[in-house]
Amino acid sequence: MTHAARAVDRLIAAYQTRLSPRKGWSCAHRVAHGDASCSAAVRGLVRQRGVVRSVVPTAVRFVACYRAALLLAQTDVSGVCCCGGIPIPFRFPGRR
């Protein structure tokens, strides 16, 4: 693993252990599909492919997460968000 990949891996690990448990919501993709969260998926991509070759698959994952959030917004699930380059609102219409 390159230095950049190790640094990104450590940053994602810190996010997963320190920030994510405290934020109060889960990755929409994980909630909708039952697989790995976006942070876990991106961490795996960076470990396997490196930082540069992970950019496009990461963007694709965030778009899929955004679509999952839209899908969940039509159900009674609320409080779902994803950390990444695409903001996903977690306050759905009709809920406070």
Instruction: Tell me if 88 is assigned to some domain.
Output: no
pLDDT at res. 87: 45
User: Which domain range does residue 49 map to?
Assistant: 3-73
Domain count, the chain: 1
Instruction: Tell me if 56 is assigned to some domain.
Output: yes
Amino acid in position 92: F
Instruction: Tell me if 86 is assigned to some domain.
Output: no
Instruction: Tell me if 84 is assigned to some domain.
Output: no
Q: What is the mean pLDDT of residues 76-88?
A: 52
pLDDT in tens, 62-72: 999 999 988 88
Q: How far apart are CA 50 and CA 47, in angstroms?
A: 6
DSSP 16: I
Higher pLDDT, 32 or 83: 32
Residues in the chain: 96
Q: How far apart are CA 60 and CA 14, in angstroms?
A: 23
Whole-prediction pTM: 0.75
Kindly indicate the confidence band of residue 32, based on its pLDDT and cuts at 50, 70 and 90.
confident
pLDDT in tens, 45-58: 999 999 999 999 99
